[in-house]
Amino acid sequence: MLTIILAESELEVMPGELVNHPLILSFAHQRRKQPDRILLDSNYHHVAMKDLSDGRRRGRPDIVHLFLLTALESIVNKKGQLKIIIHTRHDDVIYVNPETRIMRNYDRFVGLIEQLFEKKVVRSQEQTLLELKQKVPLNKVIEELKADKIIAFSEEGNANNLHNYFKELKKHKKENIACIVGGFPSGAFQSDIKSIVDEIVSIHPEMLVAWAVASEILVNYEIVYL
């Protein structure tokens, strides 16, 4: 089984310090929502975010959207061998049912995640598709998995050919693998990532976008393990 955790994702509802900003009030009015119930999104709110702490990094639901489209449509997921977890900068954790089908339209996706933050669960008939739990730090998320091998991906890690790396893991009977991919646009993990993983791996000397890293993981895992 492969688990991919999109860690420290920049996914959050509007921070309190911005809810009364004129741009945010206007945007919320257009969407007929309360300002504290809309997602922070740098695509639309970058002017209001210029004085926000870590403002250049925050407000990136698009990263989560593209990551989920990549992971949920993968062969590994279609064969029932994938767990997907979204962890955010505020330690909100979203558990994703592998049978979830995320809409390709970005605005509809944003609406879905806003509903999730409000209701804490999204269901289809009797099936839970998305569930949100609050105040779960990354190390606790990883502990719950009881994985044989925990790997974080960063350009600053040990350079590896991922195909050969997975072959070695399989050779040593590592069957329950957890891979941590950063859900932020630039910079490094803010958590002490070295203390909660077995190894940090680099698959390219430059930083790659999250969905590209996820794609490499999924394809190579499929070739080696399935």
Strand order in the sheet with 149-159: 121-124, 127-133, 93-96, 82-88, 2-9, 177-182, 149-159, 199-202
Q: Is the dihedral of CA 183, 187, 191, 197 positive or negative?
A: positive
Residues 91-130 pLDDT 10s: 999 999 999 999 999 999 999 999 999 999 999 988 999 9
Mean pLDDT for the chain overall: 97
Size (the chain), residues = 226
Domain spans of the chain? 2-9+59-225
pTM passes above 0.95: yes
Which residues lie closer than 8 Å to 22 by C-beta, 6 or more apart? none
- The arithmetic mean of pLDDT across residues 17-26, rounded, is 97
Residues 126-166 pLDDT 10s: 899 999 999 999 999 999 999 999 999 999 999 999 999 99
Q: What is the pLDDT of residue 107?
A: 96
Q: Which CATH number fits domain 2-9+59-225: 3.40.190.10, 3.40.50.720, 3.40.1280.10, 3.40.50.2300?
A: 3.40.1280.10
Residue 132 CB coordination number (10 Å): 19
Nearest alpha-carbon partner for 100 in 69, 140, 129:
129
